[in-house]
Amino acid sequence: MTDKKQLSKIICMYKLLFVCLGNICRSPAAENIMNHLIDRHQLSDRVVCDSAGTGGYHVGSPPDRRMTFAAANRLGIQLCGRARQLQKSDLVEFDLILAMDRENYYDILALDFSGKYRDKVHLMCDFCTAHTIKEVPDPYYGGAEGFNQVIDLLLDACNGLLDRVKQEIVDSEQ
């Protein structure tokens, strides 16, 4: 018979939330790239991803068609999901909250009046291993090359993030 401690380790999910401004370009791309990596590493039963926007401009919209094209063209990944706005409850629900840039980072922290969840919030580029850029640029008003750059940057950051998540899963099981 399994004791309660072992059972809680078995059903424990690690939750990641990716956040940008409108939740139609960068954060859904990060969510879908991460889900692709999670599937490839057979961690779908342990890690769950979501994305949100600090602004409510595009709530209910699918990912931007240009970002969808870039993800399919560069990685063969189909972007899915619908835009939603970041909620204060997300600070409680998710283990790591990944902001695409500093403005999003500060907007997320503004929801945390007590500072209780500050340690959960990180810049996405903190997990890059090949790129030295500090923020994921918003490609919305640019051309195709900006979307391609974001896909490459997010793939690098998601790989680095996956290494951290795998380590935290191992540590939680000990």
Q: Is position 20 annotated as part of the catalytic site?
A: yes
Q: Is position 138 annotated as part of the catalytic site?
A: yes
Annotated catalytic residue within 26, 46, 66, 84: 26
> What is the C-alpha to C-alpha distance for residues 114 and 120, in angstroms, rounded to an integer?
13
CA angle (171 as vertex; 37, 155 as ends), nearest 5: 20
Q: Is position 26 annotated as part of the catalytic site?
A: yes
Annotated catalytic residue within 20, 25, 49, 158: 20
Annotated catalytic residue within 128, 138, 156, 158: 138
C-alpha distance from residue 109 to each of 36, 80, 101, 118, 141 (Å): 28, 27, 13, 7, 26
Catalytic residues: 20, 26, 138
